[in-house]
Homo-oligomer: A and B are copies of this chain.
Amino acid sequence: MSKTFRVTLVDGAQRGESRSVEVAAGITMLQAALDAGVDITATCGRRGRCRSCRVKVLSGDIPPPTVQDTIQLGHDAVHENFRLSCQTAVIADCAIMPASLRGEAGHKILGAGESDALDGAALDCGVEQHIIVATAPSDENHLTSDIEEILLQLPPGTDPEVALDVLRKVPEALRSRNGQLTVTTFNKRIIAIDAGSEGTRMYGMAFDIGTTSIVGSLLDLATGEPLATVGGINPQAVFGGDLMSRVAYAQFDAKKLASLRGRILTAINDFIEEACAKARIAPERIYKIVIVGNTCMHHMFLGIDTSYVGLAPYAPTARYPIVVPASALPLKKTPHARVCFLPIVAGFVGADTVAAIIATRLYASEKIRVLVDIGTNGEVVMGSKDKLMACSAPAGPTFEGGQIKHGMRGAIGAIERIRIGDDVECQVIGEVPAIGICGSGLIDAVAKMLDAKVLNAAGRLRHNDLAALPPLIRQRIVAHEGSRAFVLVPAAKAGKPEDIVLTQIDCRQLQLAKGAIYAGILMLQRLMNVADEDIDELLLAGGFGNYVNIESAVRIRLLPALPLDRIRYVGNAAHLGAQMALLSETERRRAETIARQIEHVALATRPEFQEIFVNACNLAADGPTVTMSGSA
């Protein structure tokens, strides 16, 4: 007979009142509550995709948070023992308190403060819908106009000036259903007027436009519920995989810029259509769209010349939070939407970084925390509620497999992990014969080669005293193009004409790339006078961070030598921040404040950077200093 545990449900609203139930081990807390007769809302159908079912675990063993917990609730709430009850198994006797037993109408994902978010505060997405009955002007009431009659029925403070596209439809709308209208406002400005009262659903989308990929989500603005997620490769990739090659492609050439821009526009239009089809909603019901992305993507999407963003000092044309009607871009599927771009900090610290700060609440942290997004242009943000500093670290394409002999993106056939014992064992994405090695594999390989003493702290492949190595390992160190290489997968095993190797030059490339990121961290530590032990937490954000073996990343000094439990992967924080700004104008305004207050450090202009960078390229803190030229 299986083990059972007692689960006590405490009513948060009326403390003291509680119910309890005996349940089988492993059952979800949500199910336990239901068994106890306590009705917890599970808006997303127990898929871990909303936060309606969240509970606070008051006592008892708490299972570690799932990815869904972190994404939906944020790390602060998770630290405070909040969990999604649909995702959390009962593993001991426990007492839990549902966030709301009353069934709440609105809730936030990752609110301004968890205490706010959890007391069922309404969403403040800025979009409001008003169902009104307005009287068309009549013989008795002729000293008026259609729009004045409509304004009479709206809350005081509504902006009396109406966009032309809305005005054009007013006469018909006012008269087709006896004056019954649904008026949609965004920050008190009328953005849509529809006949009838059916239009009471309002949706929004949040997009993170990355250099490599685009991800978007469709949310119900009234409930905060996520309805669909869409995403794919940024179709600009045909004009260059990395940012700078695209900027170069379109530099001083308006036509080429327009073609790059057209590709994003088409993609976003298509994603909107796809998301709406998935969720079975009409795209015209999308009233707010939040866009984040790096500065180049931001400018390109807006049609702003990016020629100079690609040249030192990489100055943006505008940093303030631009809001435009969808028709100005145009996003044709969503005629009523206001498109809100989050603000920018600098040429390489874009709206995506600002969004990630919002999502991780770095700005509210009591202690020093660090946010690191590893990529071609890595970003590092460090600080607390007292001060935030940010820099961008030009890591280059190494982490995407660029400039590595057998490098490749993290796709099927890529080596992503290796183990070195008596021999080398490679873990390959898709469990197929290896084709090459991806960024996370590279980090793991170098870490393990260090451990196995195949590589020294200066990044040199071992060339003497090889006899000390296990025989099978020793055989893998081979001569290669005038230098050395380490064989990861012999040709025979890979089914290829040549071995898959990591060359001496590859090791150097990785050192340069990881050195750039780590130098960014070190520079901010120095400027803020923060020792490693002062860092309370390091958050890895972005698509790449998900795949990195954190232990290996610390081993090769890509990240500082923190206890591993202080380093966490926080998912696509930029996209999460965009969603928060979508659901909350408080968050969107906060983004503006943060972007204005954050201190940007331009690494290249700092005299001390070279020294820090050289140090950062070392694979061990106490290793010999090496001169980082292109080849060993």
Contacts and interface: CB of A to CB of B under 8 A. Distances in A.
B315 A137 contact: yes
**Number of identical protomers:** 2
Interface string A536-556: 000000000000000000000
Contacts of A304: 167-168, 170-171
Nearest to A604: B139
Contacts of A169: 305
A138 interface: yes
Given A160-B320, A318-B162, A320-B161, A142 B313 contact: yes
Given A307-B171, A307-B172, A320-B161, A137 B302 contact: no
A442 to B, nearest CB: 32
B602 A142 contact: yes
A167 B302 contact: yes
A172 B305 CA distance: 8
A331 to B, nearest CB: 13
Nearest to A173: B305
A175 interface: yes
B346 A142 contact: yes
Interface in A576-612: 599-600, 602, 604-605
Nearest to A302: B164
A369 interface: no
Interface in A304-319: 304-309, 312-319
Contacts of A59: none
Nearest to A329: B164
A259 interface: no
Interface in A136-195: 136-140, 142-148, 160-162, 164, 167-172, 175
Nearest to A146: B317
Contacts of A164: 302-303, 322, 324, 328
A256 to B, nearest CB: 14
User: Top 9 A-B pairs ranked by shortest CB distance?
Assistant: A137-B315, A142-B313, A171-B305, A145-B319, A146-B317, A145-B316, A147-B318, A171-B308, A139-B313
A570 interface: no
A344 interface: yes
Contacts of A600: 142-143
A344 B142 CA distance: 13
A322 to B, nearest CB: 8
Nearest to A316: B145
A171 B169 CA distance: 38
A316 B136 CA distance: 10
A306 B170 CA distance: 11
Given A171-B317, A315-B144, A139 B308 contact: no
A304 B164 CA distance: 8
A167 B320 contact: no
A139 B605 contact: yes
Contacts of A162: 318
Given A168-B304, A170-B304, A317 B138 contact: no
Interface in A345-383: 346-347
Interface in A205-242: none
A317 B170 contact: yes
Interface in A462-479: none
Nearest to A600: B143
A168 B138 contact: no
A162 B320 CA distance: 10
Contacts of A137: 313, 315
Interface string A317-346: 111101010001000000000000000101
Contacts of A317: 145-147, 167, 170-171
A361 to B, nearest CB: 24
A605 B138 CA distance: 10
A605 B139 CA distance: 7
Contacts of A328: 164
Given A137-B315, A164-B303, A303-B164, A346 B143 contact: yes
- Of the candidates A142, A170, A172, the one having the most CB atoms from chain B within 10 angstroms of its own CB is A142
Q: Point out which of A139, A160, A599 has the most chain B C-beta atoms below 10 A from its C-beta.
A: A139
Given A318-B162, A319-B145, A602 B171 contact: no
Contacts of A139: 312-313, 602, 604-605
Nearest to A598: B143
19 contacts: A137-B315, A138-B313, A139-B604, A142-B313, A142-B346, A145-B317, A145-B318, A147-B320, A161-B320, A167-B302, A167-B318, A168-B302, A168-B304, A170-B317, A171-B304, A171-B306, A171-B307, A171-B317, A175-B308
Contacts of A316: 145-146
Contacts of A168: 302-305
A142 B307 contact: no
Contacts of A146: 308, 315-318
A367 B600 CA distance: 67
Contacts of A143: 346, 599-600, 602
Contacts of A138: 313
Given A137-B315, A146-B316, A160-B320, 11 more contacts: A138-B313, A142-B315, A143-B600, A144-B315, A146-B308, A167-B304, A167-B317, A168-B304, A171-B308, A172-B305, A175-B308
Residue among A168, A303, A600 having the largest count of chain B Cβ atoms under 10 Å: A168
Contacts of A309: 171
A314 B171 CA distance: 11
Contacts of A314: 142
Contacts of A167: 302, 304, 317-318, 322
